[in-house]
Amino acid sequence: MKDKQIIRLLKVVMSVGILLILLGIYFHLFDPRIAEMGVNGILISSACVAIGTALSLPTKMFITFLLMKHEQEQDAKQHCRPNKKLD
């Protein structure tokens, strides 16, 4: 896969993770059915938050590493160019 495809896939995974976190918060605070379930409801809402966190955090770090690699490659290309003399 190319870097752009990987970044697009990671952004989708990160978005799904954030949506799962928000869903878990919604379950915990606003859904009466989850509150009626007791401990099982708490486990469901906390599982949504935990899975969402697991999906969202590593992808951010990987995207950052890819962007840093891209910047280093651009800097290397700029330093390899011969400088023009200004008269």
Q: Which residues contact 52 (CB under 8 A, 6 or more apart)?
A: 16, 17, 18, 19, 20, 21, 22, 23, 24
- Whether 70 is in a domain gets the answer yes
- Whether 16 is in a domain gets the answer yes
11: closest CA among 58, 69, 73?
A: 58
C-beta of residue 77 within 8 angstroms of C-beta of residue 69: no
Which tokens go with 50?
Answer: 């935990």
Which tokens go with 57?
Answer: 């955090």
The count of structural domains within the chain is 1
- Whether 87 is in a domain gets the answer no
Q: Rounded to whole angstroms, how far apart are CA atoms 82 and 79? A: 8
Record the pTM.
Answer: 0.71
pLDDT in tens, 61-87: 777 888 888 888 888 888 776 655 555
- Whether 17 is in a domain gets the answer yes
- Whether 60 is in a domain gets the answer yes
pLDDT in tens, 10-38: 889 989 999 999 999 999 999 999 989 99
**Which domain does 32 fall in, by range?**
3-80
- Whether 86 is in a domain gets the answer no
Q: For residue 7, what pLDDT is reported?
A: 77
Which tokens go with 46?
Answer: 């906390």
